[in-house]
Amino acid sequence: MAASEHRYQVHVSWSGETRSYQSYSRAHRIAINGKPTIAASADPAFLGDADLPNPEDMLLAALSACHMLWYLHLCAVNGVVVTAYEDRAEATMVEAPCDGRFTDVVLHPVVTITADSDADLARSLHERAHAECFIANSVNFPVRHVPVIKRAG
């Protein structure tokens, strides 16, 4: 199968004055054609607005959502009926004097399946979802998952 190329575009905008590091607003807007605009900021540790998502939040959300979407796909094609999925993902970022980087992400998916679905298969599909996730395949830090499988009812 030939490789497919997908392209993405966003428009990030900010206005203000950068007279000093402490004085300028970190609030900005992220626009994607045809989709709702996202108001965002920096992490509060970097003088951002704690009420707005920041790039670190969005990276973690992208990893969690990508895993979930692949997992649901794999369940659907393998006969595992999922009725609910929830993840409380966590990330660790280390800030050093000259750089900062994510060092670890842990996904904590809690998946509810129907009583007649195979729980062992449901659990094993997390490994395949991780291997297929475009976002996880694009980062240079470990992305782990600790799934919990529940039966409906």
Instruction: Provide CATH code, domain 55-151.
Output: 3.30.300.20
Angle formed by the axes of helices 119-132 and 55-77, nearest 10°: 130
With beta carbons less than 8 A apart as the criterion, state whether 64 and 89 touch: yes
Distances (CA, A) of 125 to 36, 41, 66, 135: 32, 35, 14, 17
Please tell me the pTM assigned to this model: 0.91
- pLDDT for res 153: 78
Domain range summary for the chain, segments of one domain joined by +:
11-46, 55-151
Show pLDDT as tens, one digit a residue, over the chain (153 residues): 778 899 999 999 999 989 899 999 999 999 999 999 999 999 999 999 999 999 999 999 999 999 999 999 999 999 999 999 999 999 999 998 878 899 999 999 999 999 999 999 999 999 999 999 999 999 999 999 999 999 997
With beta carbons less than 8 A apart as the criterion, state whether 85 and 110 touch: yes
